[in-house]
Amino acid sequence: MKKAGIIMIIGSLLLLGLFKFPLWNIMLGAPQYPDPLGMDIYIQGIEGVEEFDIQNIDGLNHYIGMKTIPKVEDMWEFQVFPMVIGIMVALGVIIGLLGFFGKVSYKWFLGWFILMSILGVMGMYDFNLWLIEYGTDLDPKAIMKLENLDGTPMTYKPPLIGYQKMLNFDVDSWPATGAYMIFVGMLLTVVAFFVGKKESQKVS
Amino acid sequence: MKKSINILFSLVIAAGLVGCNNGNDRKSSKAQGGLASNAAERVYVAPGELDEYYAFMSGGFSGQLSVYGLPSGRMLKVLPVFSQNPENGYGYTEETKPMLNTSYGFVPWDDSHHPDISQTNGELDGRWIFINGNNTPRIARIGLQNFKTEEIIEIPNSAGNHSSSFITENTEYVVAGTRFSVPIPQKDMPINEYKGNFKGSLTFISVDQETGRMGIKFQLIMPGFNYDLSHPGRDKSHGWFFFTTYNTEEAHSLLEVNASQNDKDFIAAINWKKIEEYVNNGGGKMVPANYAHNIMDEHTHIATSTMLKEVLTVNPMDVPGAVYFLPTPKSPHGCDVDPTGEYIIGNGKLSADLTVHSFTKMLDAIENKKFDGEAYGIPILNFEDILAGVVKQPGLGPLHTEFDEKGNAYTTFFISSEVVKWKVGTWEVLDRQPVFYSVGHGMIPGGNSRKPFGKYFVALNKITKDRYLPTGPELTQSAQLFDITGDKMELLLDFPTIGEPHYAAAIPADLIAKNSRKIYKLAENKHPYASLSPADAKVVRDGKNVHIYMNMIRSHFNPDNIEGVKVGDKVYFHITNLEQDFDVPHGFAVIGANNAEMLIMPGATETLVWEPKQVGVWPFYCTDFCSALHQEMQGYVRVSPADSNIELSWSLGED
């Protein structure tokens, strides 16, 4: 099961990319912003695509009463996510090594994948909750209080994934490099599972 | 039927006009511009698209420098240089007032003539652009990252700073020559003792290659002629500088007659490398002087003015072999050097011919002492021995010549109102086009460098007459754009300009646009009165002076209400724009301000002084429509009687 073990190790190591590359990216373009403002969401915090983008997004958002974009210390997620990813990488590498030396079954690879998938879905769910809160918990003294056609107060939750027109802004929310690295990494662990299965069938 | 007869009738009339009246040639070519070709298409820059070249045109008697896009002819900006500009507070704010300081005191205007873009190896590099103030002799350096006047140096011992500002091919020097000769040093003396007693100074200003800082390296004290225009040698003639002269008669009255008597005046050829070496070895004489050197600091946003008290002068007699006179017919105006550096063109403005000197022959004449006398000890080279050729009868009243990269020259003719294209080397006239009217300078992007971009020629005309809708007796000036890529020059476009533009300089946009600053970083703001965060806003009294540390961000001033100011106070509004977003300046205007408003760029701090004279509650507001809540961006100052004991207080957002 040497090949499967190596693939498993490579797959889980790819998750380390999250410490370097953003997981998600939200871009805000408008007629007055031909160069759109943007934020890169990392597991350790949120950064502007350009140096002053966060400040400028906050500046615009204050008109509609949105809270400022959270700093690292404002959200527990930015402490916990890096730990979870770190643990999962270590776990994946250990499982891979054990698999390489034939100490554990290939089923462990799938087990890691399922655990990671659950964590991933939980992460996305949490992210969406934040987007909802961020887009709907508005300052009652907001400068502009807009209503939908049906009379309900307008809210500003950016899309979890995809494109949405919000007032004068074109909002694009898409996975970024880090997310693609997780995707490929997790895919590799599934490949490791099947390769391992094949390798162990050959042995038996 | 009737209609077709009418058309036929007008065709016959038109044919008659063209056929039997030569005088109408000009009329028909005037109409030709847009009709004969797809001229409109070639100057059309569609909405959202950008021009190919930046053109910097001198503002003439406005004292400023205007920025146009080519080929559209759209004005992009007027950069304040030598004149106050109430539009943004230049020359009115406490920070910028020192920029206009001179030995004559505060001089808030000038007559700006000849912009020249910095070069490296004889090619435009887009770091800085320099321009001369003609009236109160000054040279300004404008940084092309900020599009802002960053430095102005006054030229002592000069009067009518006209043969300026031209730069050597690695921007080693900016050169400024005097048009009027004057007593050096200045003194009380009879004007009719001009001859032999008045002198002309040619000033070489060194440029620091990192910072752009200017400093006078030396002044060459020349005979009392009028030094009209100049250009550096380039490539093979790098190290030399050429100045046209007129009034070698040294007349002091009725110059239009008395300075037009000599058949030939001179082009002064200066071997500046030789003089530089002489000066570096301790040569020259330091003499007392008094001139201002004004520098804008990018980080404090504050200009400082320093009076310098001495200048190094050089007598040409002390540096043998450094200065020669090239005889040039009839009061030459423009002095232009072709891109190879071999040909020096003297545009004899009262002559019908163009005289071209050869640099190689000049060196040979110097070596073999082919002299034709001397003037004040300076050898005059023999005309025939240095002559490269003559462009015969190209037009009347040649003023200036620019070059393309294909070996063609383009000379402007003021009197015959035309541009003439001729071949460098064969001196053959290739094409001529009328201009409307009476062209002064012409300009090809890079056309005075080693690497011209010979796509367009801009004629900068002196007389406008009927080219635009009339606007009373005072008209705009007219520039005309020609396509020069073909054998014949094609007129594409007329566009109005500011002031009276003299010279201009243009550069491919991509050399500059990418470096253009978007904001000043607050973190780099070192202004002593900056308030870099909302918490820093405060008001401090110092006797009669009240310093308001105010900041602004969409869409409020902080503080916005101020009380405790009294009649007779001098109120300093030190305002910092906290925005860090591109194109979000804020303005500041306060009722009754006797100076100007201010425009404050993101991250910058500016100061306006306001001296309230009446008791009351007086508003101030933002003048630049910054946001949807721009109209809400306002505040009040409560002004109490001089003897009131109301304490200073300030607030924002309190009920």
pLDDT band at B330 (very low <50, low <70, confident <90, very high): confident
Chain B hits for A63, CB-CB cut-off 8 Å, are 628-629
What the block records as the tokens of B582 is 């591109």
Put simply, whether A56 touches B (Cβ < 8 Å) is yes
Chain A hits for B524, CB-CB cut-off 8 Å, are none
Determine which of B522, B524, B577, B580 to mutate to test the interface with A (most A C-beta atoms within 10 Å).
Answer: B580
| Cα separation, B157 vs B137, whole angstroms | 9
Angstroms from B577 CA to nearest CA on chain A = 13
- H helix or E strand, kind and range, residue B11: helix B2-20
Cα-Cα-Cα-Cα torsion B188, B190, B192, B194, nearest 10 degrees, comes to -20
Residues 27-46 of A with CB under 8 A from B: 35
| Cα separation, B144 vs B513, whole angstroms | 9
- Which of B580, B582, B629 has the CB atom closest to A55's CB atom? B580
* DSSP letters spanning B477-493: EEEEEEE-SSSS-EEEE
Dihedral sign for Cα B20, B22, B28, B33, please.
positive
- Indicate yes or no: CB of B582 within 8 angstroms of CB of A63: no
Q: Is the pLDDT of residue B270 over 80?
A: yes
Angle at B10 between CA B7 and CA B13, to 5 degrees: 155
A197 versus B271: which is more confidently predicted?
B271
Angle at B353 between CA B351 and CA B357, to 5 degrees: 110
Query: What is the structure's pLDDT at B36?
Result: 56
Residue range B573-620, pLDDT digits in tens: 999 999 999 999 999 999 999 999 999 999 999 999 999 999 999 999
Q: Which of A55-64, B122-131, B157-166, B220-229 has the lowest mean pLDDT?
A: A55-64
pLDDT band at A204 (very low <50, low <70, confident <90, very high): low
In B359-489, the DSSP E strands lie at: 371-375, 378-381, 387-391, 398-403, 408-413, 418-423, 429-434, 439-443, 456-461, 477-483
Residues 75-104 of A with CB under 8 A from B: none
CB B628 within 8 A of CB A63: yes
DSSP 8-state code for residue B85: B
Other CB atoms within a 10 A radius of the CB of residue A34 amount to 9
Angstroms from A52 CA to nearest CA on chain B = 6
Percent of chain B with pLDDT over 90: 91
Which amino acid is it at B249?
E
Query: What is the structure's pLDDT at A1?
Result: 76
Determine which of B50, B516, B581 to mutate to test the interface with A (most A C-beta atoms within 10 Å).
Answer: B581
Residue range B110-131, pLDDT digits in tens: 999 999 999 999 999 999 999 9
Cα-Cα-Cα-Cα torsion A99, A105, A107, A108, nearest 10 degrees, comes to -50
B251-268 exposure pattern, b = at least 16 Cβ within 10 A, e = fewer: bbeeeeeebbeeebbbbb
Percent of chain B with pLDDT over 70: 95
Split into its structural domains, chain A has a count of 1
Tell me the mean pLDDT in the region A38-58: 95
Dihedral sign for Cα B352, B358, B363, B364, please.
negative
Which amino acid is it at A187?
L
pTM: 0.91
| Cα separation, B97 vs B149, whole angstroms | 12
Angle at B471 between CA B469 and CA B476, to 5 degrees: 85
CB B226 within 8 A of CB B246: yes
- Indicate yes or no: CB of B580 within 8 angstroms of CB of A63: no
- Indicate yes or no: CB of B579 within 8 angstroms of CB of A143: no
CB B91 within 8 A of CB B82: no
Query: What is the structure's pLDDT at A33?
Result: 93
Q: What is the mean pLDDT of chain A?
A: 93
Chain A hits for B579, CB-CB cut-off 8 Å, are 59
**What SS3 class is residue B383?**
helix
Residue range B23-49, pLDDT digits in tens: 444 444 444 544 557 999 999 999 999
Angstroms from B557 CA to nearest CA on chain A = 15
Chain A hits for B554, CB-CB cut-off 8 Å, are 59
CB B230 within 8 A of CB B116: no
Residue range A50-107, pLDDT digits in tens: 999 999 999 999 899 999 999 999 999 999 999 999 999 999 999 999 999 989 999 9
Residue of chain A whose Cα is closest to the Cα of B521: A52
Winning range, highest mean pLDDT, from A56-60, A102-106, A121-125, B135-139? B135-139
Chain A hits for B519, CB-CB cut-off 8 Å, are 52
Tally A–B CB contacts below 8 A. 17
Q: Which domains does chain B have, with CATH numbers?
A: 53-185+200-515 (2.130.10.10), 529-651 (2.60.40.420)
pLDDT band at B351 (very low <50, low <70, confident <90, very high): confident
CB-based contacts of B227, cutoff 8 Å, min separation 6: B162, B163, B177, B178, B179, B200, B202, B243, B244, B245, B268
CB B327 within 8 A of CB B381: yes
Q: Is the pLDDT of residue B276 over 90?
A: yes
Side-chain half-sphere of B353: how many Cα atoms within 13 Å?
Answer: 13
Q: Is the pLDDT of residue B5 over 50?
A: no
Determine which of A33, A49, A56, A169 to mutate to test the interface with B (most B C-beta atoms within 10 Å).
Answer: A56
- Indicate yes or no: CB of B581 within 8 angstroms of CB of A59: yes
Angstroms from A33 CA to nearest CA on chain B = 9
Structural domain containing residue A62: 2-203
Angstroms from B479 CA to nearest CA on chain A = 33
